[in-house]
Amino acid sequence: MTTSPYRIAIVGAGPSGFYAAEALLRTGQDLAVDLFERLPVPYGLVRFGVAPDHPKLKQVTAVFDRIAAMPGFRFVGGVEVGVDVGIETLRNAYHAVILATGASLGRKIGLPGEGLAGIHQASDFVGWYNGHPDCRDLTFDFRGERAVVIGHGNVALDVARLLVKTPDELRHTDIARHALEALAESRIREVHLVGRSGPAGTRFSAKELQEFGTLENCDPGVEPGDLGRDPFDPPHDADPERRMAIGLLEGFSHRMWEKGKRCLFRFHLHPASFEGYDHVGRVMFRRMAPGEDMERELAIDTGLVFLSLGRRSAPLADVPYDGARGVHANVGGRVGGEEHGVPGLYACGWSKRGPQGTIGTNRACALDTVDKLLADLGSLPSPGADAADDLVSALWKRQGLRLDFDAWRAIDAAEVTRGRALGKPREKFVSVEAMIDAARGRDIAC
Amino acid sequence: MTYVVTDQCTGCRYTECVTVCPVECFHLDDEMTYIDPENCIDCGGCVPACPVGAIQPAYLLPPEQQKWIEINRRRAAETPVITSRLAPLPGADQRKMALGR
């Protein structure tokens, strides 16, 4: 129970949710924050998005733990806003609500055959190898020798890299056990990373491209026939990062295929359709390279396709949605904006501005949203003094569990212990039931 | 590997880097900012944020700039963490213009 005059709810315990909590709790105002999360475990895409072989990025959780220890912070795990409790109920119990719900939906491609078996959203594969409970039962057919990844961003690189790394390169990461076992049996030896632009137009970051030159059993390559004229000339306004990425791709174009697997970067290919009877057998593309006067058709035979075309936020009931941008409709973080505004409702992070930037971009973004909230705070109606605590107590009572940050600490400790035996930083629990069982080590009944 | 602030920061000290650092690993003195290599998580978010391109990954530094790896390490240990953006140094905007950025 807290006596703070201002009560703020944040929905979603990913980086943006934590940074919004930090921004609020650092204002010096007397306020308290409840961070709602549908799973019993926090950190959002740091846990379920960042690739298992990028452990250094995950060290950012130490910052989130410091935020969780700030006075006035409470983690409300296991409560799904929009399902277990509606937005209107939250708004009535808090002075303000910040949506930090991320971008959980993969963009569809809208082409014939998209529904065939063997075609997956990259984000589902990412959730699967990272042990997300929603993705643990997915299956991927690794029996073929070739996989195709459509999209030229860093998620596509993660997918390709996980497909070509050896079991030994992954064994000591926090990859989910089911994924390590399935990938160890994979027969994939060639991954095509396909995009519509040329080498100068990708969204790959240089650091992540560079890793492809250092893999144990995979050579990066470029299909020369894709390239067209002057493929590696950087545009005149290219920043150093872009120039570096283009230079790395040019370096890949000179590599020989010597190792067991190959990751082939392919350009100027516009997906046209997916063909197959009930399972995808090949992907049809139209090739339009600069300096060529004719468009060509081209097929890549494959039984495994990943679509990595970006993400959008899941709409929430009673929250206006911006379908064009794929985010909660907002102006600078105020949901609805000036004309159709929903007072006391805000958005930050990917559900405010779309899936862009690095983890820290969300810190500046959350600060910006919190500035707007603070400017409005005096004019927002006050809920009853006990409304927030009564609501959280009722929600936890209904499920008979109090999944707060201490419950997460118990889950965390159990995962680390499980991992130690396997030489991994942790072995994640991949079902909500198993997470809750691990939390029962301490008294969470209520 | 880590990221490193170079002397390109001197004279501007925009501190845009601080707003996007997820782990608050920027330190500061009267001249420039420094990255604490122990806390940096290699996300690279600060590189495009710097208005004058003062930040680079350590592995890309040309030989004459390599000394900044050690300077960042030493000065980060000697100076306070900066948690929010400050006004740039006087003359920063003119310098940025002169650099053609």
Q: Quick check: A359 and B43 CB within 8 A?
A: yes
SS3 A190: strand
| Chain A nearest CA to B24, separation (Å) | 9
CATH C-level class of A108-121+141-164+182-308: alpha beta
Q: Quick check: A363 and B19 CB within 8 A?
A: yes
B27-86 residues touching A, CB cutoff 8 A: 41-48, 53, 57, 60
- At residue A10, the pLDDT reads 98
pLDDT tens for each residue of A183-200: 999 999 999 999 999 999
User: Has residue A268 got a pLDDT over 80?
Assistant: yes
Cα–Cα dist A284/A217, whole Å: 29
Beta strands of A251-302 (E only): which ranges? 261-266, 269-276, 280-287, 296-301
SS3 A146: strand
User: Has residue A417 got a pLDDT over 70?
Assistant: yes
Cα–Cα dist A267/A200, whole Å: 10
Residue of B18, B20, B35 to mutate for A, most A C-beta atoms under 10 A: B20
Q: Quick check: B45 and A357 CB within 8 A?
A: yes
Per-residue pLDDT band for A445 (boundaries 50, 70, 90) equals low
Range(s) of the domain holding residue B43: 3-98
- State both tokens at A432: 């909500």
Ramachandran angles phi, psi of A373, nearest 5°: -60, -45
Cα–Cα dist A196/A270, whole Å: 5
Burial class (CB in 10 A: 0-12, 13-18, 19+), A174: buried
Domain count, chain B: 1
Q: Which residues of B touch A371 (CB under 8 A)?
A: none
Q: Quick check: B41 and A358 CB within 8 A?
A: no
Chain A residue closest to B21 (CA)? A360
pLDDT tens for each residue of A399-412: 888 999 999 999 99
A63 is in an annotated binding site: no
Per-residue pLDDT band for A6 (boundaries 50, 70, 90) equals very high
DSSP A117: B
Q: Which residues of B touch A368 (CB under 8 A)?
A: none
Mind giving me the DSSP string for B50-84? -TT--EEEGGG--GGGTHHHHHHHHHHHHS-B--S
- CATH number for B31: 3.30.70.20
Degrees, nearest 5: CA angle A372-A366-A157: 145
Q: Helices H, strands E: what count in chain B?
A: 4, 4
| Residue of A33, A19, A9 lying closest to A91 (CA atoms) | A9
What pTM did the predictor assign? 0.94
Domain-by-domain residue ranges, chain A?
Answer: 6-104+312-399, 108-121+141-164+182-308
- At residue A230, the pLDDT reads 83
Q: Quick check: A358 and B19 CB within 8 A?
A: no
Evaluate the CA torsion angle B49, B53, B59, B60 in order and state its sign: positive
The answer to whether the beta carbons of residues A408 and A75 sit under 8 Å apart is yes
Query: Which residues of chain B are under the pLDDT cut of 50?
Result: none
SS3 A418: helix
Per-residue pLDDT band for A338 (boundaries 50, 70, 90) equals low
| Residue of A118, A151, A108 lying closest to A302 (CA atoms) | A118
- At residue A181, the pLDDT reads 97
Cα–Cα dist A105/A250, whole Å: 33
For chain A, the average pLDDT equals 94
Evaluate the CA torsion angle A298, A302, A303, A308 in order and state its sign: negative
To the nearest whole percent, how much of chain A has pLDDT over 70?
A: 97
pLDDT tens for each residue of A339-382: 678 899 999 999 999 998 899 999 999 999 999 999 999 899 99
Q: What are residue A264's DSSP bridge partners?
A: A192, A221
User: Has residue A394 got a pLDDT over 90?
Assistant: yes
DSSP B11: T
The answer to whether the beta carbons of residues A374 and A11 sit under 8 Å apart is no
Candidate CATH numbers 3.30.465.10, 3.30.470.30, 3.40.50.720, 3.40.30.10; the one for domain A6-104+312-399: 3.40.50.720
A396 is in an annotated binding site: no
- At residue A2, the pLDDT reads 52
- At residue A3, the pLDDT reads 55
Which residue would you say has higher pLDDT here, A238 or A436? A436
User: Has residue A422 got a pLDDT over 80?
Assistant: yes
